[in-house]
């Protein structure tokens, strides 16, 4: 059967790449379609911003819950249920009749997609060798950015041939097909896959028994600096995903097709950044044997370079200069993804789904705030460049706070203070929680 000619480990990674592509296709198609439903329903930029951010409310809540569910019940069942939910939500978006039905469909989308990345990280913790975790996270997220890049052109093409509603029907159908394929090809544990070889199993992390009970308080404290840094990154991500297609359309008075081309160029830079970031962080880890250099320093440097790339956007108004600067900013922002998503597996491999869910709440919170704040600034001041000032400020904060993530300090089962500092004294021995070493 052709589907199984790839090695099982490669097939699992491929299926996760396809999932990341689809989730972001379903997530950002609304940005381009906004020119259609915004005009049809008479929505302001602030209301459109609410539609953009609506999915992020349940998405935020289900990051941690979904991570815990995937640790407890497995990535296979979690992603089957989630995939069905987000596929149906995408189809329902095409049936929307106004602002409230749009918001309801996007809320359901957030519910379905909330557990996806933590569940994928839980799967990777079993199916990907430690020295390739950065690459796995980078390549899957680069597939997500391909979804970003493809969405504007694909949605415009469908809208030109049919209408904005058909775009959501097509995306929803693609999602449901993936769910069926995932159920057919994925097994929770590599040893249970009928086509796995002993040579492949020898390269994978040792399989452990039932996961221990999650020390919630200690794990939240340990992951706090990572979550804050991811919020700083997420603000820029969701500004780009939500408003870049509209930015070129309105700031430079382009037609819909040309604005889609400019937006796709920016998003394709993120594809390269994700892939390269994963390769670089793994290469640095193999070469230096130092998580601090390969994860922490890399994130901090890339955030600083993102800030530098965005600066010219604030002081000039040329479409091509803006495209190059925004592409550069998105490239370096996305280079942080490989190391950032490897960090939960480095810090807490036994709770990788839960830990990555905690981290991802940072981006989810940014997904709620960034589109709405940006839409308000555009409505209030009439400037499409002003929202990037907030991104630069948060990137500067991220540069500093990234140095406090300390992925080299592994989380284990006494108590830790925020920012990875172990507690001492009687309080540390009062109840089992977690320690770092």
Tokens found for residue 277: 């970031």
- What is the distance between the alpha carbons of residues 123 and 120, in angstroms, rounded to a whole number? 5
pLDDT at 416: 42
Beta pairing partners, 436: 411
Using CA atoms, how far apart are residues 366 and 59, in angstroms rounded to an integer? 11
- Model pLDDT, residue 241: 79
Residue written as token pair 């359901």 = 108
Structural contact between residues 120 and 75, judged by C-beta atoms closer than 8 angstroms: yes
- Residue 435 backbone phi and psi in degrees, to 5: -130, 165
Q: How many residues does the chain have?
A: 437
pLDDT confidence of residue 146: 83
pLDDT at 178: 95
Neighbours of 160 (CB within 10 A): 10
Q: Which residues of the chain have pLDDT under 50?
A: 1-4, 414-437
Rounded to whole angstroms, the maximal C-alpha distance in the chain is 70
Q: If DSSP codes are grouped into helix, strand and coil, which group holds residue 62?
A: helix
Q: What is the pLDDT of residue 419?
A: 45
Interval 228-261: pLDDT, tens: 999 999 998 888 877 787 788 877 878 777 887 8
d(CA 376, CA 99): 17
pLDDT, residue 207, reads: 67
Q: What is the pLDDT of residue 195?
A: 84
Nearest C-alpha neighbor of 224 from the set 420, 407, 403: 420
> For the domain with range 2-188+215-436, which CATH number is right: 1.20.120.140, 1.20.1250.20, 1.20.1260.10, 2.102.10.10?
1.20.1250.20
Residue 47 burial (CB count, 10 A): 18
- Give the position of tokens 């002003």: 386
- Which pLDDT belongs to residue 299? 94
Q: Of 106, 396, 73, 98, which is closest to residue 232 (Cα–Cα)? A: 396
Using a 10 angstrom Cβ sphere, with 0-12 exposed, 13-18 middle and 19 or more buried, the burial of residue 262 is buried
**What pLDDT score does 19 carry?**
92
Identify the pLDDT of residue 435. Answer: 44
């Amino acid at each position: 059967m052709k589907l199984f000619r790839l090695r099982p480990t490669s097939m699992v990674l491929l299926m996760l790449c396809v999932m990341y592509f689809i989730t972001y296709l379903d997530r950002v198609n609304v940005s381009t379609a906004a020119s259609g439903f915004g005009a049809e329903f008479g929505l302001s930029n602030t209301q459109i911003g609410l539609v953009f951010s609506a999915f992020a409310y349940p998405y935020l809540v289900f990051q941690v819950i979904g991570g815990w569910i995937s640790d407890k019940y497995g990535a296979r069942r979690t992603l089957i249920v989630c995939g069905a939910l987000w596929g149906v939500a995408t189809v329902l978006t095409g049936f929307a009749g106004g602002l409230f039905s749009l918001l309801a469909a996007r809320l359901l989308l957030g519910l379905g997609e909330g557990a996806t990345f933590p569940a994928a990280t839980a799967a990777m913790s079993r199916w990907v060798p430690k020295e390739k975790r950065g690459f796995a996270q980078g390549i899957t997220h680069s597939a997500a950015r391909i979804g970003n890049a493809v969405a504007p052109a694909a949605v415009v093409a469908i809208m030109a041939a049919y209408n904005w509603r058909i775009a959501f029907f097509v995306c929803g159908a693609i999602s449901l097909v993936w769910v069926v394929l995932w159920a057919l090809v994925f097994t929770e544990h590599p040893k249970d896959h009928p086509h796995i070889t002993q040579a492949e199993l020898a390269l994978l992390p040792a399989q452990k028994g039932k996961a221990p009970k999650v020390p919630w308080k200690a794990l939240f404290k340990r992951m706090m600096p990572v979550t804050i840094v991811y919020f700083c990154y997420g603000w820029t991500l969701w500004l780009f995903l939500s408003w870049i297609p509209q930015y070129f359309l309105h700031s430079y008075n382009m037609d819909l097709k040309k604005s889609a081309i400019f937006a796709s160029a920016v998003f394709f830079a993120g594809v390269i950044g994700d892939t390269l970031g994963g390769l670089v962080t793994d290469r640095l880890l193999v070469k230096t044997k130092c998580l601090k250099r390969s994860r922490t320093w890399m994130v901090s440097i890339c955030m600083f370079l993102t800030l530098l790339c965005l600066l010219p956007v604030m002081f000039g108004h040329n479409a091509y200069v803006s495209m190059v600067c925004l592409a550069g900013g998105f490239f370096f922002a996305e280079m942080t993804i490989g190391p950032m998503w490897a960090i939960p597996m480095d810090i807490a491999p036994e709770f990788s789904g839960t830990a990555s869910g905690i981290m991802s709440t940072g981006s989810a919170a940014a997904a709620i705030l960034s589109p709405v704040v940006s839409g308000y600034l555009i409505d209030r001041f009439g400037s499409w460049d002003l929202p990037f000032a907030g991104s630069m400020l948060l990137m500067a904060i991220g540069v500093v706070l990234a140095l406090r993530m300390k992925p080299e300090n592994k989380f284990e089962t006494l108590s830790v203070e925020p920012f990875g500092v172990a507690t001492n004294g009687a309080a540390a021995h009062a109840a089992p929680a977690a320690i770092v070493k």
